Amino acid sequence: LFPHNSPLNEQGYCQEEMKMVNETRKIFNAPQLKISATCVRVPVLRAHSEAVNLEFDQPMPVAQAREILATAPGVKLVEDWQANYFPMPIDASGNDEVLVGRIRQDLSHPCGLEIWLSGDQIRKGAALNAVQIAELLVAKNWLKSLVPSS
């Protein structure tokens, strides 16, 4: 277990943590998005896991969050509270879906939720995302301007 994966900056954040902050802001096109990250390296095969804290403008009932995530494309809800079974890197490895579970109310914020997720960083983090983006560009016919006309 490693508490960080690269040298720390003047605020005490490592490169991977700042990458998570900056890429999330870029993905959401929200440069002012308030986000903080802590990276912990655990040697596991081909999967990333994250504990995510979400804050909304208004309360999000846990049941509603489960319904949304259960039907979200590319997401698989994995929650068996009786068997104590939740997303694990070993289960995410080799799969296209991001496994999400342990959805619960944030005890520190009335409009917050806590979730745990695991995903294969090669399939979902890189290769599959590139294919899905290319498929979307083709489906929306947005690649026409990139193809030289004859």
Please report which helix (H) or strand (E) contains residue 128, including its range.
helix 128-139
Q: How do residues 43-91 score in pLDDT, each as one tens digit?
A: 888 888 989 999 999 999 999 999 999 999 889 999 999 999 999 999 9
For residue 52, what are the CA distances in angstroms to 11, 36, 104, 137, 147?
21, 10, 11, 29, 40
Q: Which DSSP state fits 31? A: T
Task: Assess whether pLDDT exceeds 80 at residue 150.
Answer: no
The predicted pLDDT at position 100 comes to 95
* Domains in the chain, CATH or no CATH each: 1-43 (no CATH), 46-146 (3.30.360.10)
Q: What's the angle, vertex CA 20, arms to CA 14 and CA 21, rounded to 5?
A: 90
**Whether pLDDT at 143 is above 80:** no
**pTM reported for the whole predicted model:** 0.74
Q: Cβ(50)–Cβ(121) under 8 Å?
A: no
